[in-house]
Amino acid sequence: MLNDREYMRRDPRNQENDARSGFHALIGLILANFVVFFIQHMMPGRELDSAFALSVDGVKHFEIWRFFTALFLHAGFGHIFFNMFGLYIFGTLAAPVLGAKRFLLLYFTAGVLGNVLWFFCNWNNPYYMLFGASGAVMGIILASAMMLPDIPMMLLFIPFPLKLKTLAMVYIFLEIFSQITNSASVTSYLAHILGFTAGYLF
């Protein structure tokens, strides 16, 4: 049973602290992503992309930081909007339960593992680049759906409530479908899938 799990039956004072710190961590991540996005798209020549996006060629030159920094870069406004929308909607459910430390650990674990899978799948495509927090967001979506599966959720374009677990599946399907149909690198959707898996394991 879910109530038997340690994170669902902590001391009320610790739960309050976790809720506060988790929400602050969530807002911090969203703000950091938007700040980096505006810097990224204001700089001439997209210099941040060449230095910090994930690329096989870069990692082969021991630029290991790219596995982390790529999580804060986005290809366009639609890309960051949908990622941050998903992060906020599902993060407001997961972050208060997990607290800041575990929420951030989930975010970076899912995101980096997704990037690692993309890296190996694109070993023979050294100049492809990967941007975005999609893998991290996928992990948070699945984690929230596992912790609170039956919470009813309302969306503007759906006139009836959906259970969180159903909404999570719909959102993940749309993300992966969008990635497959619009990406120059078709294997980039695998970063979403491994992020999703990391959320489940976490």
User: Could you read off the pLDDT of 51-89 as tens digits, one per residue?
Assistant: 899 999 999 999 999 999 999 999 889 889 989 998 998
Task: Report the C-alpha gap between 116 and 128 in whole angstroms.
Answer: 14
Report the candidate in 200, 188, 31, 29 with the shortest Cα–Cα distance to residue 118: 188
Quote the pLDDT of residue 58.
92
Residue 3 has pLDDT above 70, yes or no: no
Burial class (CB within 10 angstroms; exposed 0-12, middle 13-18, buried 19+) of 88: middle
Quote the pLDDT of residue 5.
58
Task: Report the C-alpha gap between 183 and 25 in whole angstroms.
Answer: 30
C-beta atoms surrounding 161 within 10 Å: 13
The residues that bridge with 129 in the sheet, in sequence order, are 55
Mean pLDDT along residues 99-106: 95
